[in-house]
């Protein structure tokens, strides 16, 4: 590596009263595939809305609370952290009289701890003074997890552990009072009750055919369990939904079938295997889908855990044709007489210093075709992937034998290309893995592979830059840069460098 110190520039700071125009140095990054956040399914779990709690520490300009407060019925202020919060005790009940407290502009937040034993649920009410807007939350010790909240119901805000992960558990949580606007004395009421045993439905097995056509009727097998351990926690009758998804998580782009299975009551600790015939929508897009089976899809049953009601099939079902239909026989990826391996351990080594063209087929049940290539030292790989069906979406990756990704072709159009040139692996000998992977659709593909000799070239980097620490408009000063050549050959005698004055490091 060669190093050269260069007087980069002598600069004069020029300032005018008009705004400076700034060059747009932000590179446009090619947008790849969009991944939607999973939508919240229709069940009655207590969750935050899309914008979250409206915690705001603003209050009116006056300080309505006395200098010595008696929050929670004892002398002193109840702090706003878990360390300074006052305790309301274990399994407390103080309603309907409750305890008093105060929040104002100088003290807009009060926090109280509550400890529950097993089998309990807690209801909390906050009586808000006239003209004020206080909010009420159930939170964890860090005030970052919100179990329940009430914000727009003044003068009476109400929250409960019922239907949350707190219900029935021996735990400690916190009542968080926040003065959104206004100030004054409040009343805090708490009731601890025996929690009602609730069922807990989950899906533990899903099986379906591996192939079908749009409009077909197919049998879907699944097992639903009630994980509750209290004999009174039966489910009652409930509905089971059937969903087709290209991945294992439900979101708004997935297809909910019209078919709904009405299940009979399931006892606590019991399970039931069911086979239901459902009809695949005639207008569904040909692709590969997981079956997601969702117990109590309408959310009619109150459960101890509302977040474990679904399961996706481990295998995908191809709707439409697959590679066997397309090739008319057994797959013959890259002339191997079979489907190419789908991981590095089962990848076929195609040889050393290879430049060749291969053909293969990819569908959703296939997922990955991986080939191994040995590359001599001083050479690098380049690949190009094209598809017979341009509406499909196949991608290509290059990985080194240590598992590191070298490059990828990961767009929504063809040809997809990837190369080791100008990466840390250019000229590095070893075994490389080319992975043709499925995103959507079905197609025969063509894979072009080149092993090229790495061309020696310089590689300039700036190691350090030093200049005056400050200046005023009109000053002249020197900027010195250390230029390094990390390439494989010497650089040219003269290198042009550009100095840019910026308010940040970008």
pLDDT by 10s per residue, the chain, length 506: 445 444 444 434 333 333 333 333 232 323 333 333 333 344 333 333 434 566 655 544 445 799 899 999 999 999 999 999 999 999 999 988 999 999 999 999 999 999 999 989 999 999 999 999 999 999 999 999 999 999 998 899 999 998 888 988 999 999 999 999 999 999 999 999 988 888 999 999 999 999 999 999 999 999 999 999 888 899 999 999 999 999 999 999 999 999 999 999 999 999 999 999 999 999 998 888 999 999 999 989 988 888 899 999 999 998 988 888 888 878 899 999 999 999 999 999 999 999 999 999 998 778 899 999 999 999 999 999 999 999 899 999 999 999 999 999 999 899 999 999 989 999 999 999 999 999 888 899 999 999 998 766 677 788 888 888 888 888 888 888 888 877 666 777 788 888 888 877 76
pLDDT of residue 122: 96
What are the C-alpha distances in Å from 99 to residues 22, 188, 193? 60, 5, 18
User: Which of 319, 330, 333 has the alpha carbon at shortest distance from 362?
Assistant: 333
User: 177 CB contacts (<8 Å, ≥6 apart)?
Assistant: 101, 103, 109, 110, 111, 112, 126, 134, 135, 136, 137, 186, 188
Helix (H, G, I), strand (E, B) or coil at 71: helix
Contact 323, 362 (CB under 8 A): yes
Q: Tell me the C-alpha distance between 405 and 397, whole Å.
A: 7
The string of DSSP letters for 225-275 reads EE---STT----SEEEEEEEESSSS--TTSEEEEEEEEEPP--TT-EEEEE
Structure tokens given for 312: 């996706």
Domains along the chain? 1-23+460-506 (no CATH), 71-194 (2.60.120.380), 201-319 (2.60.40.10), 326-453 (2.60.120.380)
Q: Tell me the C-alpha distance between 304 and 232, whole Å.
A: 13
pTM of the model: 0.55
Contact 313, 255 (CB under 8 A): no
Q: Tell me the C-alpha distance between 159 and 190, whole Å.
A: 10
Question: With left for phi above 0 and alpha for psi between -120 and 50, is residue 291 left, alpha or beta?
Answer: beta
Q: Tell me the C-alpha distance between 40 and 38, whole Å.
A: 7
Residue count of the chain: 506
pLDDT of residue 63: 56
Q: Tell me the C-alpha distance between 477 and 474, whole Å.
A: 10
Q: Tell me the C-alpha distance between 159 and 496, whole Å.
A: 67
Contact 252, 291 (CB under 8 A): no
- In the chain, % helix, strand, coil (3-state, to 5) comes to 5, 45, 55
pLDDT of residue 470: 82
Structure tokens given for 490: 């010497």
Contact 287, 441 (CB under 8 A): yes
User: Which of 210, 131, 195 has the alpha carbon at shortest distance from 165?
Assistant: 195
């Amino acid at each position: 590596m060669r190093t050269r110190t260069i007087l980069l520039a002598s600069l004069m700071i020029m300032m005018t009263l008009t705004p400076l125009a700034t060059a747009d140095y932000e590179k446009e990054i090619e947008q790849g595939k969009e991944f939607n956040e999973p939508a919240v399914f229709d069940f009655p779990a207590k969750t935050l809305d899309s914008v979250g709690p409206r915690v705001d520490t603003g209050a009116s300009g006056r300080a309505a609370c006395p200098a010595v407060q008696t929050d929670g019925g004892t002398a002193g202020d109840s702090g706003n952290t878990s360390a300074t919060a006052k305790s309301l005790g274990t399994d407390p009940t103080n309603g309907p009289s409750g305890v008093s407290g105060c929040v104002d502009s100088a003290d807009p937040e009060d926090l109280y701890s509550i400890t529950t034993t097993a089998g309990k649920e807690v209801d909390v009410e906050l009586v808000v003074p006239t003209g004020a807007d206080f909010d009420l939350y159930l939170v964890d010790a860090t005030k970052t997890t919100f179990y329940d909240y009430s914000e727009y119901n003044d003068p009476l805000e109400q929250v409960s552990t019922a239907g949350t992960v707190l219900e029935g558990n021996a735990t400690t949580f916190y009542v968080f009072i926040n003065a959104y606007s206004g100030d004054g004395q409040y009343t805090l009421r708490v009731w601890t009750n025996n929690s009602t045993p609730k069922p807990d439905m989950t899906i533990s097995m899903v099986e379906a055919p591996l192939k079908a056509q749009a409009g077909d009727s197919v049998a879907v097998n699944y097992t639903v369990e009630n994980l509750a351990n209290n004999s009174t926690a039966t489910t009652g009758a409930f509905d089971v939904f059937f969903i087709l998804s290209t991945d294992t998580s439900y979101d708004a782009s997935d297809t909910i079938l019209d078919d709904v299975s009405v299940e009979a009551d399931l006892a606590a600790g019991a399970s039931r295997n069911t086979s239901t015939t459902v009809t695949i929508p005639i207008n569904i897009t040909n692709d590969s889908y997981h079956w997601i089976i969702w117990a109590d899809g309408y959310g009619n049953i109150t459960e101890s855990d509302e977040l474990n009601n679904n399961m996706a099939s481990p295998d995908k079902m191809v709707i439409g044709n697959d590679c066997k239909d397309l090739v008319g026989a057994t797959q013959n990826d890259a002339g191997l007489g079979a489907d190419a391996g789908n991981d590095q351990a089962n990848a076929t080594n195609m040889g050393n210093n290879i430049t060749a063209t291969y053909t293969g087929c990819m569908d959703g049940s296939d997922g990955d075709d991986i080939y191994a290539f040995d590359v001599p030292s001083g050479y690098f790989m380049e690949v190009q992937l094209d598809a017979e069906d341009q509406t499909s979406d196949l991608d290509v990756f290059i990985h080194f034998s240590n598992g590191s990704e070298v490059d990828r072709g990961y767009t929504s159009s063809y040809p997809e290309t990837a190369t080791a040139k100008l990466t840390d692996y250019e000229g590095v000998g070893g075994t490389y893995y080319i992975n043709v992977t499925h995103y959507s659709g079905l197609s025969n593909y063509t894979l072009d592979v080149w092993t090229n000799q790495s061309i020696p070239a310089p590689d300039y980097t700036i190691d350090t830059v030093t200049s005056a620490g400050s200046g005023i408009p009109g000053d002249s000063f020197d900027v010195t840069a250390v230029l390094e050549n990390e390439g494989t050959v010497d650089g040219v005698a003269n290198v042009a460098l550009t100095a840019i004055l910026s308010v940040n490091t970008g």
